Structure formats: C-alpha cells, structure tokens
Amino acid sequence: MNAQELLTGIRDANYHKGGICCLQLFRVDETCFGQLQTEVELLCRTECGSKVGETDHITSWTRPHGEVVQFSLLNASGHYDDFRTDHDLSCFGKRFHGYATYPALAQLTDLFPHTVNFRINLMGPGAGLSPHEEHTVIRTRAGSVALRTRFHLPVFTNPGAEMMLDGEIYRLDAGTVYFVNHGCVHSARNGGDENRIHLVWDMLLTREAFHFMFEEAAPTRFLRRLKQTEWVPATVRAEKIGAYERIVPLVTQDQASRITWCEVQ
C-alpha cells in the first residue's frame, strides 16, 4: 500500500465509500507489553480519571452507558482528568508528566510523532459507547485538507469486547496496535466480565507520521511491524447500524478530493 492509496482509502471510509476502516500494524514486544500492563493497571487503580458519562465531558455526546472512564496522558497540567485539549488538533504544549512512576508508558507516548492526544479508555463490564460518527478528514489552520488518524492498543480485553466500524464487528487483540478509522460510524461495547482497557491516541498524518506508522522499516524494539499481508484484520460478523450521533463535517467529500499531508499545528 503506497502513500496515495492510504490517504484516499482513509478518506473514502470517512465518507462511507468503502476504503480503509481498520488495520493491524504492530505487535508490542512481550516484555515491554507486560510492563505496560502493570503500569496501566496501577494508573487506573490509583489516579483520578474523568467520567465520560458526565454532561460536561468532551466525549459525553457519544452516549456512554455503564462505567466508562478516561485518563488523559498528554496535556499541560499533568492531571489525568484534564481532557480540555484532547481534541484541539494541536501537538504543542502537551506532554506526559508521569515519567518516574510510569516509565513504559512514558516510552510509548514518546514514540509517536505529532500526537494530539494519548488516552487510557476503560470500560467496565457491560459498558459501552453508542454508535457515533466523527471525522478523520480535517481542515488545517493553513486551510488545507488533511487527516487526523486514530490508533488503539488493547491492554486488557476479553472475548466479549467488540468494536463496530460501519456495520462490521471486530475483536481487537491485546498487544496489537490498530489503525481505527473514527470517520466510520463506530461503537464499542464490553460484553465481558472484566474491564476492557485500551490505549488510544490521535496523530496528525504528516509525512513523518506516515513513515513511522505505515512504511516498512521497523521503528523501535518496542514494536514489531506486521507484514502488509497481515494488515487487514478479520471481522466477526456484520450488523445493522441503526440511529447514531454525529459531528457535522467541516470538509465536504468534494473538498476532500484535494487531500494532502497534514502540517504540524
């Protein structure tokens, strides 16, 4: 898959015209992943996160049900319940403040170029987010049309944890990094008896970000890149989407025909 195929594939799925909904890109080194699991479990147990169901939460419009808690790892304040700048599309003025306590998480957050947020999303048993549509296609501050791309790393999961993307149901494996196209109508649910905990982050798709996430060179010892023949994950089944919430798009499909690399902003 070359750069143009990736840009247009992500764009097309954003407008529900086929395209790329989900890719599995990396496996996390086993030792590093064990450290991540230990640190994520500790952080979720001891730190204060934000409750997504509260009306003032930036993600409450997704109509969460059950226990859905978010820990925002990149911000200026260092407070894990501070979600105010998670979706401002800026890479600047944000950092992870827990280097001493959570060194593996610090290493992971440092790996990826041009991240605009990095979150831990916890769903308790029976919890979920209702179907909703965001937008991968964005307009930059310079006026160009580009992409904000989202990635998931399941840290703790179970067979009852599922994600829906444009009517296709996926089960995401622990220890695997996925591209998840949030321009698709999507939902998440935890039908299991244990917490479902994912690391989730958004990156501006600059040339550097594309090279790191999608080109062939293995980036670090932390991650092992999967072969392109393994990129497309299997689906579990298809289901009818029904009614869903959506954010009004700021870029039309016609305008998105001029899509390009994102500038850092």
Q: Does residue 263 lie in a domain region?
A: no
pLDDT of residue 196: 98
- At 88, give phi and psi (nearest 5°): -90, 0
Per the structure, the complete domain to which residue 144 belongs is given by 22-75+103-258
Look at the pTM and tell me if it is higher than 0.85: yes
For residue range 178-201, what is the model confidence (pLDDT) as tens digits? 999 999 999 999 999 999 999 999
Per residue in 104-160, pLDDT (tens digit) is 999 999 999 999 999 999 999 999 999 999 999 999 988 899 999 999 999 999 999
- The CATH number for 71's domain is 2.60.120.330
Cα–Cα distance for residue pair 155/186, rounded to 1 Å = 20
- How many domains, in total, are found in the chain? 1
Q: Is residue 82 part of a domain?
A: no
The answer as to whether 45 is a domain residue is yes
Residue 69 lies in a domain: yes
Q: Residue 17 falls within a domain, yes or no?
A: no
The whole-chain average pLDDT of the chain stands at 95
Q: What is the DSSP string of 35-61?
A: HHHHHHHHHHHHS--EETTSTTSTTGG
Q: Can you give the pLDDT at residue 219?
A: 64
What is the residue-wise DSSP string for 138-204?
EE-TTS-EEEEEEEEEEEE--TTEEEEETTEEE-PPTTEEEEE-TTSEEEEEE-SSS-EEEEEEEEE
pLDDT digits (tens, 9 = 90+) for 30-61: 999 999 999 999 999 999 999 999 999 999 99
Residues 124/52, Cβ–Cβ less than 8 Å: no
pLDDT digits (tens, 9 = 90+) for 89-104: 999 999 999 999 999 9
